Amino acid sequence: MIPVIALVGRPNVGKSTLFNRLTRSRDALVADFAGLTRDRKYGESRLGSRPFIVIDTGGITGDETGVDSSMAQQALAAIDEADAVLLIVDAREGLNAADETLAMRLRQQSKPFNLVVNKVDGLNEEVAAADFYALGTPSLMTIAASQGRGVSSMIEEVLAAFPEPQLESIDDHPPDSIRVAVVGRPNVGKSTLVNRLLGEERVVVYDQPGTTRDSVYIDFERGDQKYTLIDTAGVRRRKNVSEVVEKFSIVKTLKAIEDAHVVVLLMDAHEGIVDQDMHLLGHCMDKGRALVLGVNKWDGIDSDQREWIRKELDRRLRFAEYADTHYISALHGTGVGHLYKSINGAYASATRKLSTNALNRILEGAAFDHPPPMVNGRRIKMRYAHAGGQNPPIIVIHGNQTAEVPNSYKRYLEKVYRRELKLVGTPVRIEFRSGDNPYSEKRNKLTQRQVQRKRRMMAHVKKSKKSRKK
């Protein structure tokens, strides 16, 4: 069994910094900003040959209201599922009532915990830790998470309480898992949809834009298929982004799009499709990700507005007609189950192995039905095609003058390949390559016999010109 260790404490005591130090990553956002972490975040690490799982949580003070109340519930859920709890406190601020309240909560839950005094860099460790002995914990450790001081000895002491596990390989995510990123503008219901797909309150949901600040990766199984759901922060227009934390959140969202196999782009039915939705859609297409469109908050809209939204989507999303569109209500679960079929279909199309024989047959038929245009009086020739990659499917076409193929003809080939191969939910990329003349840079070297023949021919030509002049 792999031990699960939860990091809990007041806001801004260094839990995310310690999480990044233990997992040797930068997965958790870190800033001098109280309450930055809201959802519980899982990471995997090793100490030598011993694997363990770390859970980063939001800060708890005991008097949370509003969105902080939901954040505290996430932290308490992490405590319930953890095998060991590290109560992180701040050496520079000393002991306060929130630390005492949290220690009392852990004792009431009969959960064993270790007291970790963080931020002792530049301080006398014994003096800094003196106040915290009042909590009466059997184990007290001092560390400086930002510098890594004392972290290894601390985790060794924590893992010593667990039996040596069998050697297991733990990966960031299962290799056969379908990574699905849920993206969209703030407050369109991304976290609500993630919770509905999972069937549990896994991430914080609150009626306030910007509730999610970090990208949360969640592994789960549905039937025999493994998935990794990625809940992301909402992306606003650049001119509206002023806080540094939000800028980092957007960077995390864009990275999640690159990591994903399939992107679910969520839009708000009450607001219709707006320019920011189009920008996000364009970014997903530029990255070549398989795509599923979701129109959320479909409940409570009258029939006339629904008809207008459908026509507007058809008009503005002609360039993404390959993507399935679902009209859903994440809050009530209406239509959410159908997303899995589109996600699986898009993933299967994006990662499908393409036969060279089939690609050449389709290319021949496409060129016969609609020949390539003429360039400088010569017809562009496309000789053969083969597969060049997956997710998205890349088709490489070799021929002559392929650099002159217009974009309109390239889009025509993409549509033909998508139709003939029955690819759904994924873009198709066409790459053209021209055959180079291998002798273009080489000078023809004549043999001695050819040189003599050339001289005789030139002499004959000169003699003929003189005779004509006479």
pLDDT tens, position by position, 128-139: 888 888 888 878
Q: Does the annotation list 296 as a binding residue?
A: yes
Q: Does the annotation list 309 as a binding residue?
A: no
Residue 62: count of CB within 10 angstroms of its CB: 14
Predicted pLDDT at 470: 64
Q: Does the annotation list 83 as a binding residue?
A: no
Averaged pLDDT for residues 190-199? 85
Q: Does the annotation list 15 as a binding residue?
A: yes
Tokens representing 112? 């064993």
**pLDDT tens digits for 25-47?**
775 555 444 445 556 677 778 88
Q: Does the annotation list 226 as a binding residue?
A: no
Averaged pLDDT for residues 420-438? 84
Q: Are 424 and 324 in contact (CB under 8 A)?
A: yes
Q: Binning pLDDT at 50, 70 and 90, where does residue 454 land? A: confident
Averaged pLDDT for residues 102-130? 83
Q: Does the annotation list 416 as a binding residue?
A: no
**Mean pLDDT lowest among 245-249, 313-317, 411-415:** 245-249
Q: Binning pLDDT at 50, 70 and 90, where does residue 168 land? A: very low
Q: Does the annotation list 353 as a binding residue?
A: no
Cα dihedral: 330, 39, 229, 235 (round 10): 70
Q: Which residue would you say has higher pLDDT here, 445 or 450?
A: 450
Q: Does the annotation list 146 as a binding residue?
A: no
Q: Does the annotation list 188 as a binding residue?
A: yes
Q: Does the annotation list 335 as a binding residue?
A: no
Q: Does the annotation list 379 as a binding residue?
A: no
Predicted pLDDT at 263: 92
- Report residue 295: phi and psi, to 5°: -105, 105
Predicted pLDDT at 245: 45
Beta-bridged to residue 115, according to DSSP, are 87, 140
Q: Does the annotation list 59 as a binding residue?
A: yes
Q: Does the annotation list 11 as a binding residue?
A: yes
Residue 244: count of CB within 10 angstroms of its CB: 10
467 three-state secondary structure? helix
Q: Residue 253 half-sphere exposure, CB side, CA atoms within 13 Å?
A: 26
Predicted pLDDT at 286: 87
Q: Does the annotation list 112 as a binding residue?
A: no
Q: Does the annotation list 376 as a binding residue?
A: no
Q: Are 63 and 14 in contact (CB under 8 A)?
A: no
Predicted pLDDT at 39: 60
**Beta strands 381-389 and 394-400, pairing class:** antiparallel
Q: Does the annotation list 232 as a binding residue?
A: yes
Cα distance between residue 382 and residue 100, in whole Å: 75
- Percent of the chain topping pLDDT 90: 18
Averaged pLDDT for residues 158-177? 64
pTM: 0.63
Give how far Cα 439 sits from Cα of 205, 344, 436, Å: 66, 49, 9
Whether residue 408 is predicted with pLDDT greater than 60 in this model: the reply is: yes
Greatest distance between any 2 Cα atoms in the chain? 126
Q: Does the annotation list 10 as a binding residue?
A: yes
Q: Does the annotation list 5 as a binding residue?
A: no
Q: Does the annotation list 233 as a binding residue?
A: yes
Q: Does the annotation list 222 as a binding residue?
A: no
Q: Does the annotation list 427 as a binding residue?
A: no
Q: Does the annotation list 118 as a binding residue?
A: yes
Cα distance between residue 258 and residue 246, in whole Å: 19
Q: Does the annotation list 231 as a binding residue?
A: yes
Averaged pLDDT for residues 358-380? 89
Q: Does the annotation list 444 as a binding residue?
A: no
